[in-house]
């Protein structure tokens, strides 16, 4: 895509008791009030799994076990170009605390599609809801 390197982002799919954790961006953020999977930008030279573990600690206060990659995508927004790598997070230690989001929620697979997700995440959301992934 025009030769520009995408911003590398790691995101986690955290499942507990058949539900998946989703997070709503703050209203004041870019793409405010849209839903996403928790995670964030990898730092220069940082391994993606390590980046995700760091982000989940910062955003949710948990120590996450980051497992295999389940999906990868590239998406161009009007203001940026991202490559998002999604990992399964089967376990974590600590109690989830909302530190940076407008809201967090545990959603069943079938209800995921009822949330207004970031444009880049919508194909993955549909695949999870259909039982194709995870």
- The full set of domain ranges for the chain reads 7-129
Determine the average pLDDT of the residues in 51-77.
97
pLDDT at 1 over 50: no
**And the tokens for 35?**
């839903």
Q: Give whole-number Cα distances, 115 to 101, 110, 126, in Å.
A: 15, 11, 11
pLDDT at 61 over 60: yes
123 pLDDT band, cuts 50/70/90, is very high
**And the tokens for 80?**
């940026």
**And the tokens for 5?**
């390197």
- For the structural domain made of 7-129, what CATH number should be given? 3.90.79.10
CB 122: neighbour CB atoms within 10 A? 14
């Amino acid at each position: 895509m025009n030769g520009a390197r995408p911003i590398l982002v790691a995101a986690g799919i955290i499942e507990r008791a058949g539900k998946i954790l989703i997070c709503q961006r703050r209203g004041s953020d870019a793409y405010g009030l849209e839903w996403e999977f928790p995670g964030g930008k990898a730092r220069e030279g940082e391994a993606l799994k390590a980046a995700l573990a760091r982000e989940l600690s910062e955003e949710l206060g948990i120590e996450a076990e980051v497992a295999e990659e389940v999906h990868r995508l590239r998406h161009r927004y009007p203001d940026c170009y991202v490559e998002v790598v999604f990992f399964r997070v089967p376990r974590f230690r600590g109690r989830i605390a909302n530190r940076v989001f407008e809201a967090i929620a545990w959603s069943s697979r079938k209800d995921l599609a009822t949330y207004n997700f970031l444009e880049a995440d919508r194909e993955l959301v549909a695949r999870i809801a259909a039982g194709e992934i995870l």
